[in-house]
Structure 1
Amino acid sequence: MKVIICGAGQVGYGIAERLSQEDNDVGVIDTAASLITKMTDTLDVRGIVGHGAHPDVLAKAGADQADMIIAVTLYDEINMVACQVAHSLFNVPTKIARIRAQNYLKPEYSDLFSRDNMPIDVTISPEIEVGKMVLRRIAFPGATDVVRFADDHIAMVAIECMEDCPVVDTPLRQLSELFPDLMATVVGISRGGTLIIPQSGDHLLTGDVAYVVCQRDHIRRTLSLFGHEEQEAGSIVILGGGNIGFYVAQMIEKHQPKTRLKIVEASRERALQIADELRSTVVLNGSGLDQKLLQRADIADADLVVALTNNDQINILGSMMAKRLGAKASLVLINDPAYHDFSDDAGIDATINPRAVTISRILQQMRKGRIRAVYSVQQGNAEVIEAEALDTSPLVGQCLRDLELPDGIRIGALYRDGKVIRPDGETRIRTRDRVVLFASQDAVRHVEQLFRVSIQYF
């Protein structure tokens, strides 16, 4: 597939890195020559220095032959105009734009991004998507990741197996026998940096991260089964009152009104603005690295500090300082993947990777077949995929034990007629079933084949 990416910042780099790994023809446009040089020196992509919304620059990037344009510059208006020009002058089939300003995305303006107005096929609002991820992590503190599928009826939960994990050394098939009414299936294991697609005879070890697909209402019970009984935070301090921090505070006020919430925001103007719009949240103006200010925020009594500024160093150092002053746990937003490797050594309890959200949305558009949702895990080494089974799928009609699934695929749950089904050997997939599965990177192309509209089986 031929793809043009407008914007060579952290988001654009992450998208280009992933798409080039999958042998796509990727061209990247940015006005900063230094960013383009970095991109072309490290990735197998073409770089064009110029303005992504200018017709001559898009023409130079090969827009007349492009299958997709992904506009992820820092400016919404440039992203929108780039998609419009790509459509009007070059007839690019798929247009994706990052839109940060929520005013563009209000329901009353839903016709704005339509073919007759501004023809953008997919809008990505990273701040809101990341905010939702933060809220899920706050709601389920024992999980290292939580993602929803099948209209919010199914979840993928990543869970670390600690030393006191009750299910360590227990064969996975035995878990199904011991807890027959628990709608949960272990679909993937990360062990010492290696990704494992488990079989029913495999078992978990201390230190593993288990990827579990379960019914949404069974998340807490699943966490408890793995020994995670952490309680939701009653007192939270948020470092950073930008779009993400503000959204998280709004949702906590709306859905968890008993939670005691404080925000530390460096910009006085922004602090005043969000203080006027929030009802019960205390907003403090100052740096998240100011020890006295953190003490004023009663950081010693905080169950959780959530660092959500746009500066990784402030997030990391601020959370470390907060914990040293008495905060019980930390959740930290980290953009640069280089910082993720030492987060454990820095005493950070949990991290959020915003690039994973954006890249997952892009991959959903790239995948062939009836793919409804995609979420990338383990730095792209695997994907959790929701796909719809059609009449043409070789999965339909046979017992799962009789299927010869390619290596690297494990089915976690089915969603059928409003019900979640935990699959076993006797389960038969039916037409229109929504299948949530875990696939290694090498197996993704097989998943696309299994769910193609017109099947040509490998």
Structure 2
Amino acid sequence: MKIIVIGCGKVGRKIVEELCDENNDVTVIDLKKQVVSDVTSSFDAMGVVGNGTNHLVLKEANIENTDLLIAVTQSDELNLLCCLIAKKAGNCSTIARVRNPMYNNDISYIKEELGLTMTINPEEAAATEIARILRFPSANKIETFAKGKVELLKFTVDSKSIMLGNSLEEFASKLSSNVLICAIERGEDVFIPNGQFVFMENDIVTIVGSPKDAKNFFKKLGIKTHSVKNAFLVGGGKIAYYLSKNLLSMGIKVKIFERNRERCEELSELLPEAVIINADATDKEVLREEGLEGSAESFVALTGIDEANIFLSLYAKKKSKAKVVTKINRVEDNDIVNDFNLGSVISPKLLTAEYILRYVRAKQNTIGSNVETLYRIIENKAEALEFHICEGAPVIGIPLEKLRLKDNLIIASVNHKGKIITPNGQTLINVGDTVVVVTTQKNLNDIKDILL
């Protein structure tokens, strides 16, 4: 696809990296010459220096032949204007980053009136992700497929787990369950396991199944499945606001620690049901006095400083039994952050890039089977993809055991007319089904790409 990205900050740069990795034809636009030069020298992308709202600049970027324009500058208004002008100049699909909560209630109207294909609010997306995790605190990460009928969950094998020392085959015979274990992270390595794979402490396991089956699986493992009753949020920014609204609507008590007094007053008006504490939560005494060690069931570090979030989370893990979630901004430090074993780590920038990549993948595919959903379950190492099976797909009507699948790939779930099937060797795929595939293979654009 021919794609223009306007705005080459951290989010824009990450989007360009992902799109170039997928072999898209990418052109970037930014006001700063050095920024454009850095991006074009780092990735296989063209660059134009200028204002993305300028018709001549868009023309230089070949807007007339562009399939998609993505506007992710620091200004919501500028992003919307870029999309509006691009729509008139090139009649392409448009995606705008819109972050300000003041636009939230009117976003559907704005999207419709401006003809936007999609709007993305990274902070709201991060809040939704965190709320999903706090509803099921035993999981490190939760994603959904088939309109919520299938869930992908990640959890860590602890020192008391009945999985320890067992092969996948042995474990499956001991614990009968209707979920599929489809990926394992061990340090920097990722495995698509076979029956002989043996579980070790601190392995991060990815499972796929229906919400009911996933809940039963965790119960059999002796892991709690109820949502948290309260949440300690450190930092009162946009994510804290969106997350608090979400949690309060679920009946979860919220306590926000924010050191800026003026912001505390704003939050008190916006979130009258939440407890707002004007204090610096990096002071351990503050957290202790407010009950971190005794009553906190979840702790979410949301300050604007990654290092502070990491240390706060490590302290909360040491001093409490709370479910800990850590926000990280610098995506380039993800490998280092994983070494801290923080559990659930959320990056708004990665989420934004992932949302856009999902859309691009779905738009690219028109023959055989479309990618309906895409999740990067392990950064740059493994993906979960949901394919819609159309007429002519080469997997139709053939038992899975007879399909010649590529290595490091597993068919994790089949949705047949609303019935969720955990597949075995005899399972057949039919027209109209949606199929979830988990793999370390890259650039799977069609269901035929899973075959040798």
Answer whether TM exceeds 0.5 for this pair.
Answer: yes
Equivalent in the alignment of 2:430? 430
Amino acid across the alignment from 1:20? C
Instruction: Please tell me the residue identity of whatever aligns with 2:154.
Output: A
Residue 282 of structure 2 aligns with which residue? 289
Rounded to whole Å, the distance in 2 between the matches of 1:317 and 1:173 is: 39
**Contact (CA 8 Å) 2:331, 2:350: kept in 1 or not?**
no
Per-residue Cα deviation, 1:155-212 (whole angstroms, up to 9, x for no partner): 11112223333224444345554444x3310122223312222334444333322211
Note the C-alpha offset of 1:133.
0.9
Worse-superposed segment, 393-402 or 44-53: 44-53
Q: Which amino acid aligns with 1:364?
A: R
Write the distance in 2 (CA, Å) between the matches of 1:295 and 1:74. 37
1:114-129 correspondence runs (5 A): 114=112, 117-129=113-125
Residues 294 and 34 of structure 1: is their aligned pair in 2 closer, same or farther, counting only changes over 3 Å? farther
Cα distance in 1 between the residues matched to 2:58 and 2:307: 35
Worse-matched range after superposition: 227-236 or 126-135: 227-236
CA deviation string 1:97-151 (max 9, x = no partner): 1122345443x7634323xx31211222222221111112222222221111111
State the 1:307 CA deviation: 0.9
Does the 8 Å CA contact 2:358/2:374 hold for their aligned counterparts? Answer: yes
3-state SS of the aligned residue for 1:380? coil
Tell me the SS of whatever aligns to 1:164: coil
CA distance in 1 between counterparts of 2:436 and 2:340 reads 35
Unaligned runs of 5+ in 1: 451-456
1:10, CA displacement in angstroms?
A: 1.6
The 8 Å contact of residues 164 and 227 in structure 1, kept in 2 or not, is answered as no
Cα distance in 2 between the residues matched to 1:84 and 1:168: 56
Give the distance between the partners of 1:427 and 1:347, measured in 2 at CA: 37
Is 2:272 the partner of 1:276?
A: no
Which of 137, 143, 158 is 1:147 aligned to?
143
| Rounded Cα–Cα distance in structure 1 between residues aligned with 2:288 and 2:445 | 52
Residue 29 of structure 1: CA displacement? 1.8
Distance 1:344 1:386, change over 3 A: closer
Task: For 1:227-376, list aligned pairs within 5 A.
Answer: 228-229=223-224, 232-257=227-252, 259=253, 261-301=254-294, 302-320=296-314, 322=316, 328=322, 330-343=324-337, 348-367=342-361, 368=365, 369-376=369-376
The 1-side partners of 2:51 and 2:283 are apart by 39
The one-letter code of the counterpart of 2:97 is: R
Shift, 1:346, TM fit: 5.0
Q: Contact conserved, 1:289 with 1:321, CA < 8 A, in 2?
A: no
Q: Residues of 2 paired with 1:204 and 1:446: CA distance?
A: 32
What is the alpha-carbon distance in structure 1 between the residues aligned to residue 185 and residue 343 of structure 2? 18
Tell whether the 8 Å contact from 1:265 to 1:271 is kept in structure 2 after alignment: yes
Residue 444 of structure 2 aligns to a residue in which SS? helix
State the alpha-carbon separation in 2 of the partners of residues 111 and 236 from structure 1.
33
Partner of 1:420: 420
Decide whether the 8 Å contact of 2:395 with 2:448 is kept in 1: no
Query: Residue type matched to 1:112 in 2?
Result: I
Cα deviations by residue, 1:229-286 (Å, 9 ceiling, x for unpaired): 48754442101222211122122222134x4x21012333322122123243210124
1:375 Cα deviation (Å)? Answer: 0.8
What TM-score, normalized by structure 2, do the two folds share?
A: 0.89
Question: Cα–Cα, structure 1 residues 344 and 23, in superposed 2: closer, same or farther, change >3 Å?
Answer: closer
How far residue 73 of structure 1 moved from its aligned partner, in angstroms, is: 1.6
Of 64-73 and 143-152, more deviation after overlay is shown by 64-73
Write the distance in 1 (CA, Å) between the matches of 2:168 and 2:352: 32
8 Å Cα contact 2:137/2:323 also seen in 1: no
| 1:391-422 deviation digits (Å, cap 9, x = unpaired) | 22112211111112223321111222332111
Following superposition, the deviation at residue 11 of structure 1 comes to: 1.2
Q: Distance in 1 between matches of 2:129 and 2:265?
A: 26
Q: In structure 1, what is the Cα distance between the partners aligned to 2:34 and 2:324? A: 35
Worse-superposed segment, 5-14 or 229-238: 229-238
Q: Unaligned regions of 5+ residues in structure 2, if any?
A: none
Tell which deviates more after alignment, 194-203 or 263-272.
194-203
Name the amino acid aligned to 1:274: L
Aligned residue pairs total 445
DSSP-derived class of the 1:436 partner: strand
Q: Secondary structure at the residue paired with 2:4? A: strand
Match of 1:186 in 2: 181
Partner of 1:453: none
* One-letter code aligned to 1:277: L
Report which stretch shifted further, 320-329 or 354-363: 320-329
Deviation at 1:47, TM superposition (A): 3.0
SS at match of 1:299: coil
Residue 288 of structure 1 contacts residue 314 of structure 1 at CA under 8 Å; is this kept in 2? no
Aligned to 2:206: 211
- CA distance in 2 between partners of 1:449 and 1:325 (Å): 48
SS at match of 1:284: strand
Q: CA RMSD in A?
A: 2.7
Q: Is the 8 A contact 2:127 2:243 kept in 1?
A: yes
CA shift at 1:442, angstroms?
A: 2.7
For 1:221, the equivalent position in structure 2 comes to: 216
Q: Which amino acid aligns with 1:101?
A: N
Q: Following the alignment from structure 1 to structure 2, what is the Cα–Cα distance between the partners of residues 105 and 250?
A: 13
Distance 2:29 2:398 in 1: 48
> Where does residue 163 of structure 1 map in the other structure?
159
> Can you list the C-alpha shifts for 1:14-62, whole angstroms capped at 9, x where unaligned?
1111111222222222223443343234333233332222222222223
Contact 1:356-1:377 at 8 Å conserved across structures: no
When residues 137 and 444 of structure 1 are mapped into structure 2, their CA distance, relative to the original with a 3 A threshold, is same
CA shift in 2, pair 1:357/1:448, >3 Å: farther
1:28 maps to what in 2? 28
Provide the residue aligned with 1:454 in structure 2: none
Distance 1:38 1:162, change over 3 A: farther
User: How far apart, in 1, do the equivalents of 2:381 and 2:131 lie?
Assistant: 25
- CA–CA distance in 1 between the matches of 2:189 and 2:4? 32
